[in-house]
Amino acid sequence: MATVSLASLDGCRPRGNKLRQGVKGFGTVDDDFTLNEITVEALQQQMADGSETARSITERYLQRIEAIDQSGPVLNAVIEINPNALSIADELDRERAEGKLRGLLHGIPVMIKDNIDTADKMQTTAGSLALAGSITSQDSQVAKKLREAGVVILAKSNLSEWANFRSFESSSGWSSRGGQTRNPYVLNRNPCGSSAGSAVAVAANLCALAIGTETNGSIVCPSSVNGIVGIKPTVGLVGRSGIIPISATQDTAGPMSRTVRDAAILLGALTGRDEDDARTLESEGKSHRDYLPFLQSSGLKGARIGVGKVYMGFNKGVDRLMVEALGVMEKQGAELIEVDGDVASGGGGDSFTIMLYEFKDGLNRYLAARGKEVKVKSLSDVIAFNREHQKEVMPYFQQEILEIAESKGDLKSEQYIEALEKSLRGSREEGIDRVMDDLRLDAIVAPTGGPAWVTDLVYGDRKGGGGCSSPAARAGYPHITLPMGAVHGLPVGLSFFGRAWSEPVLLKVAYAYEQASGKREAPTYRERVGV
């Protein structure tokens, strides 16, 4: 394994943050918005000095949603507004006035993906008309943690229907309930899935923070192409009860934000034991309630970073940004070590097999536990509903993945057990763990993926290659992405991933890179590339 030499790139410095104001796309977007690019701590300072309140901040975001999500460019990131948002904000303002502060998230508006249960008047549908009207009386663990932290659950975000586990020909960011979400940088480009609405909402300053979920790529890909920070935690760090499932092996919720610091704040609020999710028992002694102490501007100094060269070479613009990013890391004192080949030993087919079995098992359990508010009680009911309402539900693509999953047996099936063993071994002890142990690495770095592709409801997603989400996703290990720059005005992310429970290390190196590079830029709302 060769050490990467990038001494000749010491002079490369990325552009700093820059706000584009009054750019015309499908409509003029006001980028003089008062809360544009604001951080959690800046919002707290405004509430502390009385220049803003939780209510006034919430009102501003609701106005912003009306202005550019539901009209203007019509980003379509929001699937439903929380009708209780202002009353929640009022109550949090009363607590503040009484001297009761719950922490840095007190009064902060957060958007939550529409596959996460909230005990309020909002539905939880995974974007599917089959679950329209589904309102629960019990918070998911994520919603419970957010309320304890004092956030205002502002709205639910649109997503790829069934978290992009319905068809091989799907368009990311499209759901039968919510329609097609647009990329705010170039409006005819795709926002990636399945946490498309959460990513777009954060990127376009429709909220302070958002929650996404990932099975494989659904936090990091939309974060990358929408120019924000996304964290896919180690599976078990964040409780999953009350989240519509795909895979018990790979599913997790995670924070999405405009800065690493804000993502770290939100991550700390989400951790902890979930009595209805046994995987969280593994996090005891390994999780933290506060990740801010791990953020160090000197965090790259002396770090051994493995460079995943196999994840490069699919786009010259992305390669140029990656070389520049490596130069920044080396200048900050990191030692760059080339990693030969894919860090996951096979596992693609095995991982999909696992998802098929676990989706059927998990969704049947989730639906059976719901009350009379849901008209479908099993995966087979969902499939039948979709066939009966084909015109509304399947105008562009079908449901072949749902049908394949329905054909599978239970979790005692030999095919499932063998696939699970092979995938975990190949991604963990023969994959990430082996590579990192052999090379004594602190983290592995790679481009998160390529620029956003043109949305195409006829042919579906055409990603054009690239992407490093699979190794950490299959292993259930942590993965952080943050802005690396742009290709033709389309954002591209830089990924750091590594061993289980290594969020502190990944946050340290990601924060150091962010502070040295400053690559986050606000959206441009152009109609298409070149306009």
Q: Which positions are catalytic?
A: 113, 194, 218
Q: Which amino acid is at 284?
A: E
List, as own/partner pairs, every contact residues 514-517 make where C-beta atoms lie below 8 angstroms and the sequence separation is at least 24, other chains included.
Answer: 514/229, 514/259, 514/260, 514/482, 514/483, 515/297, 516/297, 516/300, 516/328, 516/331, 516/332, 517/14, 517/325, 517/328, 517/484
Q: Do residues 207 and 155 make contact, with C-beta atoms less than 8 angstroms apart?
A: yes
Q: Do residues 75 and 68 make contact, with C-beta atoms less than 8 angstroms apart?
A: yes
Q: Which two tokens stand for residue 524?
A: 């441009």
Q: Do residues 116 and 124 make contact, with C-beta atoms less than 8 angstroms apart?
A: yes
Rounded CA gap, 79 and 128, in Å? 11
Q: Among positive and negative, which fits the CA dihedral 185, 180, 60, 84?
A: negative
Q: What is the 3-state secondary structure (H, E, C) of 217-234?
A: CCCHHHHHHCCCEEEECC
* H/E run at residue 482: strand 479-487
Rounded CA gap, 331 and 323, in Å? 12
Rounded CA gap, 84 and 119, in Å? 11
Rounded CA gap, 253 and 270, in Å? 9
| β-strands 443-447, 252-257 pairing | unpaired
Q: How many CA atoms lie within 13 A of 148 on its CB side?
A: 14
Work out the number of other CB atoms within 10 angstroms of the CB of residue 11.
7
Q: Do residues 307 and 338 make contact, with C-beta atoms less than 8 angstroms apart?
A: yes
